[in-house]
Amino acid sequence: MDILNLIGQYGGWSWLVAGFVLLGLELVVPGGILVWMGAAAIVTGLVHFLFPGLGWPVEVLIFGVLSLVSIVAWLRFRPQGEATDRPFLNRRADRFIGQEVVLNEPIRDGAGRVSLGDTMWRVQGPDLAAGAKVRIIGADGALLKVEAA
């Protein structure tokens, strides 16, 4: 079935149904965009009932403009979240960057181990003997990248 014929045949009801379907999809695929498109479709349906003489091209234009304006406004003015006192809570390895530590196991062929807190971490860097002091310069997952200090 052609969507434009559907809109022309059922008018505002098709916009209302499409709006509620988009709002329902937002529950399944969260992200925020479909909420604003659903709201734009519902408003377009209400506009159709208030001004019944509008044709479907004008309604599609209203829907497009309302969708774009509401999405852009939401992306620009949405809350960014609060600053936290624990910025590395879910990025545990990143909090060690810049620290100098002593190697527990030598780095051979680019791989070794170091103890930080109660955990042994794998390290990657130049070949060094056990007991050498290294500086953590990066992290790739649970692998710490080091250089000689």
How confident is the prediction along the chain (149 residues), in pLDDT tens digits per residue? 577 676 667 778 888 999 999 999 999 988 889 999 999 999 999 999 999 888 888 988 999 999 999 999 998 988 777 777 777 777 778 888 999 999 999 999 989 999 988 889 999 999 999 999 999 999 988 899 999 88
Look at the block and give the residue holding tokens 């809570």: 89
Whether 35 and 73 have beta carbons less than 8 Å apart is answered as: no
- Look at residues 44, 36, 54 and name the one whose alpha carbon lies nearest to residue 15: 44
Rounded-to-integer distance, Cα 142 and Cα 138, Å: 11
Instruction: Supply the DSSP symbol for 21.
Output: H
pLDDT tens, residue by residue, 83-93: 777 777 777 78
Q: Which residues of 17-44 are buried (b: 16+ CB within 10 A; e: fewer)?
A: ebbeebbebbeeeeeebbbbbbbbbbbb
Sign of CA dihedral 38, 40, 46, 49: negative
Size (the chain), residues: 149
Backbone torsions φ then ψ of 93, nearest 5 degrees: -70, -30
Instruction: Supply the DSSP symbol for 83.
Output: -
The pLDDT of residue 1 is 52
Rounded-to-integer distance, Cα 51 and Cα 55, Å: 10
pTM for the whole structure: 0.54
